[in-house]
């Protein structure tokens, strides 16, 4: 928030002074905001938080007044966030994860219980499996149940509360529960000793329909009029890697999933650049356990340690600080 102050004395006007005033967003208001989003109604949020529906509505209005922006579309029949509301929700999730983990560590709360984690078979699954294995060693009292599917199958399970934490790729409007997001550039790859990229039509090794890599490859080749056909289909990254290494076809992988015996194809080889893929971590703060908070931060730290530092910046709704 910027306050403009004009001072004048006699006929002399002094220079304009601008003062930045921080807006403090109470964590209880942010929790109410996320509860409404996660549960899909003011009534359900009120039941969970032990408040009346008018009290929940009042807190949402208070939050909108604090940031000076509309956060929810009041004309929609169901809960629908404005663009500013979506941005604030992602920040709020990150801030509350940090807040709650600090409290848990200071109070020395034990990390116990079970967590259901969804991992994408179509994106860096080996990396995440290794990270989760290290997490269980560090937190032996937390029981993890890992569910592996392609991204488009994981997100509906998360929406139905059948998974607690999910890593998945998405296109277009980010699904609810997004807490961190980053971009990956798919790369055309072929076996070092393979001539698959020179064949007509181009043989493609791909995940089943619905996979974001598959869509990117087909759209890219169609745009330049290059004929193609699917010669190998597998739901897992390992299957595609082996198919490419064996010369069954070309495929698209990210830098993180390139394997030995492969090389990257470029425009010089007749293959167009592919559009970025958005990857996100999805998590609902409402009712989250200490173990879930630790896991979210553990995965993010593992990504940062591996060199993934280009997490997408979210649009700030103002100069915002959070207070407990």
**17-20 and 2-5 strand pairing:** antiparallel
Q: Which residue has the higher pLDDT, 313 or 76?
A: 76
pLDDT band at 182 (very low <50, low <70, confident <90, very high): confident
**Residue 52: what pLDDT?**
85
In a domain, 24, yes or no: no
In a domain, 213, yes or no: yes
Mean pLDDT of 14-27: 61
Mean pLDDT of 140-169: 91
* Sequential DSSP letters for 148-161: EE-HHHHHHHHHTT
In a domain, 219, yes or no: yes
CB 1 within 8 A of CB 21: yes
**HSE (CB half, 13 Å, CA atoms) of 260?**
0
| Residue of 262, 254, 308, 307 whose CA lies nearest to 281 | 308
**Residue 147: what pLDDT?**
93
Kindly report, residue by residue over 192-204, the tens digit of the pLDDT. Answer: 999 999 999 999 9
**Residue 107: what pLDDT?**
64
Alpha-carbon gap, residue 168 to 153, rounded angstroms: 9
**142-149 and 113-120 strand pairing:** parallel
Max mean pLDDT among 18-22, 38-42, 89-93, 231-235 falls in 231-235
**Residue 15: what pLDDT?**
46
Distances 313 to 68, 181, 316 between C-alpha atoms, Å? 21, 9, 9
Kindly report, residue by residue over 200-230, the tens digit of the pLDDT. Answer: 999 999 998 888 899 999 999 999 999 999 9
**Residue 221: what pLDDT?**
96
In a domain, 242, yes or no: yes
Name which of 26-40, 142-156, 247-261 the model is least confident about. 26-40
**Residue 261: what pLDDT?**
92
In a domain, 311, yes or no: no
pTM of the predicted protein model: 0.66
Neighbours of 6 (CB within 10 A): 9
Mean pLDDT of 92-112: 73
Kindly report, residue by residue over 103-117, the tens digit of the pLDDT. Answer: 766 666 666 788 999
Q: What CATH number has the domain bearing residue 264?
A: 3.40.190.10
In a domain, 44, yes or no: no
Alpha-carbon gap, residue 303 to 311, rounded angstroms: 10
Mean pLDDT of 20-31: 78
Report the number of distinct structural domains present in the chain: 1
In a domain, 40, yes or no: no
In a domain, 210, yes or no: yes
Report whether pLDDT(10) > 50.
no
Q: 255 is in which domain, residue-wise?
A: 187-269
Report whether pLDDT(121) > 80.
yes
| Residue of 87, 257, 117 whose CA lies nearest to 178 | 87
């Amino acid at each position: 928030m910027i306050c403009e102050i004009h001072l004048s004395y006699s006929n002399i006007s002094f220079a304009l002074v601008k003062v930045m005033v921080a807006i403090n967003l109470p964590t209880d208001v942010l929790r109410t905001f996320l509860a409404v989003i996660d549960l899909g109604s003011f009534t359900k949020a009120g039941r969970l938080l032990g408040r009346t529906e008018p009290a929940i509505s009042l807190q949402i209005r208070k939050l909108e007044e604090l940031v000076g922006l509309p956060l929810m579309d009041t004309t929609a029949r169901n809960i629908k966030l404005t663009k500013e509301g979506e941005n604030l929700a992602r920040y709020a999730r990150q801030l509350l994860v940090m807040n709650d983990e600090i409290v848990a560590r200071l109070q020395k709360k034990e990390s116990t219980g079970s967590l259901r984690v969804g991992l994408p078979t179509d994106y860096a699954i080996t990396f995440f499996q290794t990270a989760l294995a290290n997490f269980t060693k560090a937190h032996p009292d937390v029981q993890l149940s890992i569910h592996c599917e392609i991204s488009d199958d994981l997100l509906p399970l998360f929406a139905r509360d059948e998974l607690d934490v999910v890593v998945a790729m998405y296109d277009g409007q980010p699904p609810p529960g997004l807490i961190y997001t980053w971009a990956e550039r798919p790369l055309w790859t072929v076996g070092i000793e393979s001539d698959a990229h020179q064949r007509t039509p181009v043989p493609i090794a791909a995940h089943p329909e619905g996979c974001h890599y598959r869509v990117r490859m087909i759209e890219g080749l169609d745009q330049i009029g290059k004929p193609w056909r699917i010669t190998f289909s597998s739901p897992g990254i390992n299957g595609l890697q082996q198919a490419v290494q064996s010369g069954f076809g070309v495929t698209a992988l990210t830098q993180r999933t390139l394997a030995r015996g492969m090389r990257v194809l470029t425009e010089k080889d007749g293959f167009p650049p592919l559009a970025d893929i958005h990857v996100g971590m999805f998590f609902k703060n409402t009712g989250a356990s200490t173990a879930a908070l630790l896991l979210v931060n553990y995965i993010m730290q593992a990504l940062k340690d591996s060199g993934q530092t280009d997490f997408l910046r979210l649009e700030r709704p103002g100069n915002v600080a959070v207070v407990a």
